[in-house]
Structure 1
């Protein structure tokens, strides 16, 4: 039977609904090559995945770059990414079946991503996923992107669910921190990071074949309070390695 009052289940998009981080990294690396930068894109995304592209790009320049120029660079990167990912768009294993089961179990389901509206459509409409989401929140709907809490607090508010009854599914460090800042729990999916890289998820899974709504409810019963965010993990600078 559906749980009453309901819980909210909020998904990030990149690295959660789809396993696209390798193509994202390649697109950044091609842009960096054109700009004469030596930044390692894989290391960059390992630390800053979840932020809008323009905010990620801002961290790699040693001299100030105008907002207009960053937007242009982000658009160039987006074009490169779409070309690279065009024929690879597919959902993470078990996603649709899990979303159907979650709805049947009474969860309200939201999408909370740092992507813009057209990028969201490029993925979820191509894959036929829009029908599963009660609410979709993107970059244009919030003032501050991850690791700030805005993306997830806005999604919860539009779902009509209190933050303490929401669980976020994330692949990224900054996304996990955004969930904790919003007063929510987090489930980590290891498309991008290792399980040990997350701070304090309810659990980690490699894909959605390993997760059921009942398992989430059991975990929430045993862990009623969400973790406190880590100031160190939420730092937004590029970690040189």
Structure 2
């Protein structure tokens, strides 16, 4: 693990598990769909391991290619997001300290963007529900990329929209595939330990540090 010893020009945030601590609710929604609707008989931990990428990619990993028609994938995806939002809405909140961190970054002139595999429906649910759109110079969603993380496209596009070189960005992530995406984009990364253990990130040389939330004082070195 490297030290936080440089001053980035932009912060790129994954959304789920990184700005909000909601991955449990995504997993519960998929677990419900896969077992109650699709009779997959999968335990919670098995479903949790598949919680990255676009909805159709999740379905393909679990059930194989061509199991569902495009119409079925769309129907299942919409139902999954409805169950997620219904379950998470009473708990909708920024991760501790992020409100102050966003304001500090704005005052410091650091540009910010979201780079997420979430669909716009869910991103808008969070961004407008928590009134943080004014901090963001760009949003890259699942609909904006051809290939999901760990491909670097999501973060490359976010940096491009901000007009910042990749090497001048710091990515905030909570998942190994997201850290790998940042690495593939030549970006350093700060990991939120909301979803995965530190041991699950072994071998990634671009990680600057691990934080439980944005009150961690080591983040002061970024400004």
Where does structure 2 lack aligned partners over 5 or more consecutive residues?
Answer: 1-6
1:75-86 pair list within 5 angstroms: 75-86=78-89
Distance 1:144 1:211 in 2: 35
Look up the SS of the partner of 1:203 in the other structure.
strand
Q: Which residue in the other structure is 1:146 paired with?
A: 149
Measure the CA separation in 1 of the matches of 2:216 and 2:144.
31
Taking the TM superposition and a 5 Å limit, the aligned residue runs for 1:81-120 are: 81-120=84-123
| DSSP-derived class of the 1:193 partner | coil
* Aligned mates of 2:75, 2:110 — CA distance in 1: 39
Task: Give the structure 2 partner of residue 210 of structure 1.
Answer: 216
Of residues 162, 169, 173, the one that matches 1:170 is: 173
Closer, same or farther: CA 100–147 of 1 in aligned 2, 3 Å: same
Residue 59 of structure 1 aligns with which residue? Answer: 61
State which of 73, 76, 96 in structure 2 corresponds to 1:73.
76
Taking only aligned residues, the RMSD between alpha carbons, in angstroms, comes to 1.8
Q: Contact 2:29/2:81 (CA < 8 Å) preserved in 1?
A: yes
Per-residue deviation at 1:71? 2.2
CA 9–62 in structure 1, closer or farther in 2 if over 3 Å, else same: closer
- What is the CA–CA distance in structure 2 between the aligned matches of 1:57 and 1:13, rounded to whole Å? 21
3-state DSSP class of the match of 1:146?
Answer: coil
SS in structure 1 opposite 2:149? Answer: coil
Equivalent residue of 2:12, what SS? Answer: strand
Aligned CA distance change for structure 1 residues 205 and 167 (closer, same or farther; 3 Å): same
CA contact (8 A) 1:105 1:213 kept: no
Cα deviation, 1:74-129, whole Å, max 9, x if unaligned, reads 11111111111121111100001001111222211111111111211111101111
- How big is each residue's C-alpha offset from its partner over 1:43-94, in whole Å with a ceiling of 9 and x where there is no partner? 333x343311221121111463233322221111111111111211111000
Post-superposition offset of 1:142:
1.4
Contact 1:10 1:112 (8 Å CA) reproduced? yes
Gaps of 5+ in 1: 218-241
What TM-score, normalized to structure 1? 0.82
Question: Structure 2 length normalisation: TM-score?
Answer: 0.89
Task: Indicate how the Cα distance of structure 1 residues 16 and 99 shifts in structure 2: closer, same or farther if over 3 A, else same.
Answer: same
Q: For 1:146 and 1:163, locate their aligned partners in 2 and report how far apart those are by CA, in whole Å.
A: 16
With over 3 angstroms needed to count, the CA separation of the structure-2 counterparts of 1:6 and 1:205, relative to structure 1, is closer
Q: What SS does the corresponding residue of 1:109 show, helix, strand or coil? A: strand
Conserved? CA contact 1:170–1:186, under 8 Å: yes
Aligned to 2:3: none
Alignment check: 8 A CA contact 1:57 1:74 kept: no
